[in-house]
Every structure is written in structure tokens, then in C-alpha cells.
Amino acid sequence: MTNPSEPKSQDKAVWQQENAFEGSALHDDKLGGGKNLDSILRIPVTIQVVLGSATMPVANLMKLGRGAIVPLDHRVGEPVDVVVNGRIIARGEVVVVEDDNSRFGISLTEIVGPPTNDLNG
């Protein structure tokens, strides 16, 4: 027979789960501060710069060879898209890196905010 004043096993599990965080950094530090934020800020992400894109039939793709030119949908002088995890986060202009003339870089001209009505997730 169970004692009515004794917590049920479900209640014990919840209490243990809640109290397990009391000594941890999650309980001591606010989300976005201290060690938690440092860990997140060290996660590497891949940045892609999209000069443009093109669509063509497979037959035309198969005819491409060395020296072929594929026209892109962006024009010279238009900003290029800076993409992280498949989302455009900024736009900018292609530049030559000052310290190393053999490398390109991007001069950011616009930071793109989050989509206002993103139904596609």
C-alpha cells in the first residue's frame, strides 16, 4: 500500500530532473551568457557567396567543355548573396583582398533580416 503523503514516481522523476540542473551551468548562467554563449560562438559555419545561377537542359549541360561560358542570372555590378545554412544573411560586392591580391573577398553592403512571413520553415 502506498503512503498518500509520499510523492508518486512521476513526481519524483520530475523533481529529480528539475533538481539535476541546479548545480549546472544551465541553471547558474542565463541562456546567451557566459560559458553557454562561448560554446555556441565557437561552432563553425560555412559561408557561401553566390555569384548567380543558371538553368539549362541536361543536353546543353552535357555539351559544356573547357572554355565554355555559362551566363548567370546576376549582372556585373549587382550585389552577390552571402548564404549561411541555405539562408541569405547579407549581400555585398566582390572585392580583391588587400593583403593578398590573389584572393577575393566580399564587402558587405546589406544585412538581410529574418523573413517576415516564412511559411516554408
85 located within any domain:
yes
> What's the rounded Cα separation, in Å, for the pair 54 and 73?
6
Q: Are residues 115 and 60 in the same domain?
A: yes
70 versus 11: the higher-pLDDT residue is 70
Q: Can you give the CATH number for the domain in which 91 is found? A: 2.30.330.10
Q: Are residues 23 and 63 in the same domain?
A: no
1 located within any domain:
no
Print the domain residue range for 88: 45-121
Question: Going by DSSP bridges, is the β-strand pair 80-84/87-96 parallel, antiparallel, or unpaired?
Answer: antiparallel
Q: Are residues 88 and 63 in the same domain?
A: yes
CB burial string 55-85: b at 16+ within 10 A, e below? eeeeeeeeeeeeeeeeeeeeeeeebbbbbee
39 located within any domain:
yes
The pLDDT of residue 119: 57
pLDDT at 117 over 70: no
Tell me the whole-structure pTM to 2 decimals: 0.57
pLDDT in tens, 51-96: 999 999 999 999 999 999 999 998 888 999 999 988 999 999 999 9
pLDDT in tens, 23-57: 444 444 555 556 778 888 889 999 999 999 999 99
Q: What is the mean pLDDT of residues 101-116?
A: 88
91 located within any domain:
yes
Q: What is the 3-state secondary structure (H, E, C) of 19-70?
A: HHCCCCHHHHCCCCCHHHHHHHHCCCCCEEEECCCCCCCHHHHHHCCCCCCC
The pLDDT of residue 57: 96
The pLDDT of residue 120: 55
Q: Are residues 21 and 69 in the same domain?
A: no
Q: Are residues 66 and 78 in the same domain?
A: yes
Q: How many domains does the chain have?
A: 2
Q: Are residues 29 and 73 in the same domain?
A: no
